[in-house]
Structure 1
Amino acid sequence: MTNHKQAWLEREKTFAAFVTGQLLDFWQRREEKCFSGVGGVPIHYVHFISAEHQRVILLCPGRNETYVKYPELAYDLFHCGYDVIIIDHRGQGRSGRMLDDKQRGHVDSFSDYVDDLEALWQLEMTSLRYRRRFMLAHSMGGAIATLLMIRHPFAFDAAALSAPMFGIFLPLPRWLAIPILTWAEKHPLLSQTYALGTGRWRPRPFRFNDLTHSRERYRRSLRFYCDDPALRIGGPTHHWVREGIRAGEEVLGNVSAIKTPLLLLQAEGDKVVDNKAQDRFCQLLDETGNPCLGGVPRVIYGARHEILFESDVMRTEALNTVITFFDQFD
């Protein structure tokens, strides 16, 4: 395991060889599965299993993500001694869509995400084969996972949240954006259109991206969507934005129900979610007597939003922090 961790710091130097060799071999051992989510929407997920593992991590991705993007992280977690499960949320990845325009990022109710995740947890993680159960969630997935932990405070032995979406960066001042979203909600056709300033998926050059400093990881992720149009998701709908804002408010309003030991990773240079909401979340946790690790977010200095897809040094710092945190519960 130590040698594997040491390789994290130099992976980008030989990234092409890694992804076409070791990572491809690992990806081919996956088990792809599906179940019926809320409203009969098919929810796809992938599972990496070893008979030697007694610990499992449920990986909950962010908006516009798919498990097809996550094999590198799954590989690293697996080689640290964990089975790995990754969900494709409704409306994205290989899971079912709710609108005719399959590129619109949409959900009828944010609680549908939580219901789907709860169903997967019951399906795969309540088995007695696992001695320890963990959650690793990113961005939108962080809000979904936290709402599940509010419902089921002892579902996981511990959880790590990477840049969780407890607040969203809006293109307009909040005092203007909220009335627009409220007005759009009264017009069903408008509420399901792309939110202001967004539209259908299009490839964005690396130099203009706000997600990562890693050219290799960014290009690999982009290639998945270029090669498979079915994976593409454009901007969110007005309704999704409204639901996302409400989800963050629900999280902050129910912090006292959280009992799961938590680690919160914060990207210093985040331009997707609101770091102030993460600060507030940790402050509220501290006031309940169940502080997150360190009492405040663990800031990954210099990192952009996709911390676990960042350049080697920042990614290694984050991943080592997560593994060290989980390992203490053995």
Structure 2
Amino acid sequence: MTVYHTLYIYSYIYIYNMAGRVLLSGLKPLVCGSKGCQVRSSVRGFRRAVTASRQRLRAEGNKALTGTADRFGGVTVNLEQTGLSEDVSEDSFSDLLQESLIQWKAEGKVAVWLRVPISLSRCAAAASTHGFSFHHAINDHAVLCLWLGAGESRLPGFATHQVGVAGAVVDESSGKVLVVQDKNKTKNAWKFPGGLSDPGENIGVTAVREVFEETGVRSEFKSLLSIRQQHNHPGAFGMSDMYIICRLRPLTYNIDFCTQECLRCEWLHLSELALTDHTTPITSRVAKLLLHGLEEGFEHIDLAMEELPAVYSGMFYQLYHRKIPTA
């Protein structure tokens, strides 16, 4: 009977990156039998794998990914700005990302934001193997994120609201307000012209723009009147909706409304709009608010806007509030 003796040899294995830093280390059992020791062949196979990984990185001509640090202790990497080859392989990018993660952890980074253009979508698949998940996608790129800090992730979620803005253009001399009826609606109700605010667009600018695009009437922003919050808004992909109504002053009065969006457009008296059944509850309520402003003074209903400097960015933001009485 032939007896085979097996000898377990624990070899301390190191995996180095191109810069000489240790990528992975650990105890690896290598087996020898009486018919010949397999240690040398195992080590040779290991060395070949390391060599192949290094060759992929050299072929791409990349070291660790570069990014922009933020004041929260994270780093943002835009793959379009890293000099990454357009034909980079998924395996090569995975090796590069692994090396970068080790560096970021050593630097104490708590989070990584990875901006991936659609042309490099395969890099998103590679990033997912390192724990990255999708945060959001806009137009031609996706943003992935990974929490590196202690405990549960404290990364903020993506925007959950859309902002709609309407303009109540009030002619104080006649007591009339500009209203429209949307086209292709199951119920044609009078409402204030408006639409969604563009990214980076101030509320007042949205109101003025939307009024002109829908009615042809030019106006100027005066104040904020009301805010409506609604969840699971239809057409908002399950997101919440903020609907803001602004008070505008007309600069022109001739109507030239957009026939693609509007069925009708008129100057309607506020008293009629406040009582008619052919409107929405929020439009009727704001019409009553505007009537009160006409009678008692708009300072009783206006949330005026004031620009103030932001503490951290040095930029300016808009603050809306009732005016503080002066002594």
Q: Shorter-chain TM-score: what band?
A: under 0.3
Higher relative contact order (CA 8 A, sep 6+): 1
Q: Where is the strand percentage greater, Structure 1 or Structure 2? A: 2
**TM-score of the superposed pair, with normalisation by structure 2:** 0.19
Q: Which has the larger radius of gyration?
A: 2
Q: Where is the helix percentage greater, Structure 1 or Structure 2? A: 1
